[in-house]
Amino acid sequence: MGALATYFAMGGYAGFVWPAYGIAAAVLGGLALHSWRHYRASRDALAAAQRPRDSRE
């Protein structure tokens, strides 16, 4: 337990280091997830709109 607990304590700065990494992961991960979902939705909608009329693409 000792070594791991010492590591996670971050020399007493755990309350600052981990939230900093957490916020970065949440913001950038959230942006990535949102952009990816939006992209898939736009791609599927376009494919559905093109299917009946234009089958070349």
Partner 1 sequence: MLSHLANPARFMRISGIALPWLGGISLVVLALGLVWSLILAPPDYQQGESVRIMFIHVPAAWMALSVYLFVAVASAIALIWRHPLAEIAAQSAAPIGAGFTFVCLATGSLWGRPMWGTWWVWDARLTSVLVLFFLYLGYIALVNAFDDASRGGRAGSLLALVGIVNLPIIKFSVDWWNTLHQPASVFRFGGPTIDLSMLVPLLVMALGFTLLFGWLLLLRMRTALNERRLRALRIYGQAATAGAAGEPASAAARPAWR
Q: How far is the CB of 30 from partner 1 (least distance, A)?
A: 8
Distances (CA, A) of 56 to 28, 47, 49, 51: 37, 11, 13, 9
Q: How far is the CB of 24 from partner 1 (least distance, A)?
A: 5
Cβ pair 38, 45 in contact under 8 A: no
Q: How far is the CB of 44 from partner 1 (least distance, A)?
A: 9
Residue among 1 and 32 whose Cβ is closer to partner 1: 32
Residue among 5 and 53 whose Cβ is closer to partner 1: 53
Q: What are phi and psi of 55, to 5 degrees?
A: -100, 5
